[in-house]
Structure 1
Amino acid sequence: MTKPTLTYFPVRGRVQFPRCLLEYLGEEYNFNEVKTISDDLRKQLLFKQLPLYQEGDFKIVQTPAIIDYISEKHDFRGKTKEERARAHQCLAGIMEVLDHCLGYSFKMDKQQQEKFRNESPIKKFFEGFEMVLSQNKYLASGEKETYVDLMAFVMVDYVTNLGLMPSGDYPKLISLKKHYESSPQLKKYLESRPQSNF
């Protein structure tokens, strides 16, 4: 089997979602770090954006699509169509959180960060995830974890790193974060990943 390659910049950004997924599932992959998007690379990108996932002749862009493909390969999307739909629903929410944070984090001083946390546009998503986890063990509401539980960890970890955690109590999400932080599969990557603010 061809070892897949992920191409992205030397930051956490969007690629940390599929990277954590590959690490957790134990699939070996190559990471192609680039500083800029060259003309040759741009020709390979459907929407002229990274990350890029490549497996032999197969190439795909857009973080949710990459996550879905990897999860499908490893039967990590949910057992039933209802579970898969709920997982996809939560992933869409996670991507909205990411978009909000990437859009604001570069422009904020500490006072603006505090205002963001108190009036946070991502608060409703955290409350929604917390509600699901207070009623079910997993976000897809099935008997086993799916990719979206891991993606929720990456989201909480990322928002915490940016200093943009919304005000409020989220014990279930914090517990989820601690669970994956202590995972042997993720430990090496989490300790060696880029120390970036985005």
Structure 2
Amino acid sequence: MAGKVVLHYFNGRGRMESIRWLLAAAEVEFDEVFLTTREQYEKLLSDGALMFQQVPLVEIDGMKLVQTKAILNYIAEKYNLHGKDLKDRVMINMYTEALIDLMEMIMILPFTPDPNSKLDNIQNKAKERYLPVFEKTLSGPPHLVGGKLTIADVLLLECTLMLEEQFPTILSKFPNIKAFQGRMKSIPAISKFLQPGSKRKPPPDDVYKKTIMEVFQFK
């Protein structure tokens, strides 16, 4: 019998947060090992656990998986969150890759010399390039693809909540997305993940940034 899923990453959001969201939606319990020192990272390297010398690292089903999209796809396939057929999956992949692109713009803000200068660009791209697509898609069906919950829905909720942290009124002209948020938050597993004390991580702070800089020896 496979042991519990174990996530190796920093005690913060970053690229691991979407993985946490998806595991929570799939009702999969997981443990976390937080990277806090350079020595921990070097041990993972010397043990051969990091194929491309990068985290996130997820231990699942006797494997040590790296590369965020590969990990997300594996979890989505394993827990039936990746559509019913090839055409569903390609649509889901297009949506999820777009959402990851948008979230990464927000993720790198703490490591940007002048993050405030990037906010207008992020908000404009969100409102003009990304959100209209999801607003149109959600004009009828309750979910983005195939009439059922998929990874695309989970990441859309994560992404829009991240956007609202930065831009509180950004969804004011996207009523379908707001309604979608309400439906998603009513799902018991997701509602639980949104409660205080869950393994959902807060927005990055100075401690998170300092830890990453020290572990990776960034200057």
| TM-score normalized with structure 1 length | 0.84
Q: Which residue of 2 aligns with 1:12?
A: 13
Is the CA contact (8 Å cut-off) linking 2:109 and 2:115 kept in structure 1?
A: yes
Letter in 1 for 2:147: E
State the distance in 1 between where 2:157 and 2:50 align: 28
State the distance in 2 between where 1:154 and 1:130 align: 15
State whether structure 2 residue 57 is matched by structure 1 residue 57.
Answer: no
Give the alignment partner of residue 173 of structure 1, picking from 174, 177, 197: 177
Secondary structure of 1:14's counterpart equals helix
Q: Which residue of 1 aligns with 2:98?
A: 93
Deviation per residue, 1:168-196 (Å, 9 max, x gap): 61112222222223332133332223322
Q: Which residue of 1 aligns with 2:137?
A: 132
Letter in 2 for 1:71: A
Unaligned 5+ residue runs, structure 2? 206-219
Query: Offset of 1:167 from its aligned partner?
Result: 7.2
State whether structure 2 residue 144 is matched by structure 1 residue 143.
Answer: no
Letter in 2 for 1:133: L
Secondary structure of 2:64's counterpart equals strand
Deviation per residue, 1:49-88 (Å, 9 max, x gap): 2211112531111222111101111122111211111111
Secondary structure of 1:134's counterpart equals coil
Letter in 1 for 2:44: L
Letter in 2 for 1:25: A
State whether structure 2 residue 182 is matched by structure 1 residue 196.
Answer: no
Q: Which residue of 1 aligns with 2:163?
A: 159
Q: Which residue of 2 aligns with 1:31?
A: 32
Structure with greater Cα Rg? 2
Query: Offset of 1:104 from its aligned partner?
Result: 3.7
State the distance in 1 between where 2:131 and 2:104 align: 14
State the distance in 1 between where 2:37 and 2:125 align: 31
Secondary structure of 1:185's counterpart equals helix
Distance of aligned partners of 1:58 and 1:112 in 2 relative to their CA distance in 1, 3 Å threshold: closer
State the distance in 2 between where 1:20 and 1:36 align: 25
Letter in 2 for 1:126: L
Supply the RMSD in Å over aligned alpha carbons. 2.5
| TM-score normalized with structure 2 length | 0.77
Which runs of structure 1 show a deviation greater than 4 angstroms over 4 or more consecutive aligned residues? 164-168
State the distance in 2 between where 1:197 and 1:175 align: 27
Is the CA contact (8 Å cut-off) linking 2:58 and 2:65 kept in structure 1?
A: yes
Letter in 2 for 1:101: I
State the distance in 2 between where 1:100 and 1:130 align: 20
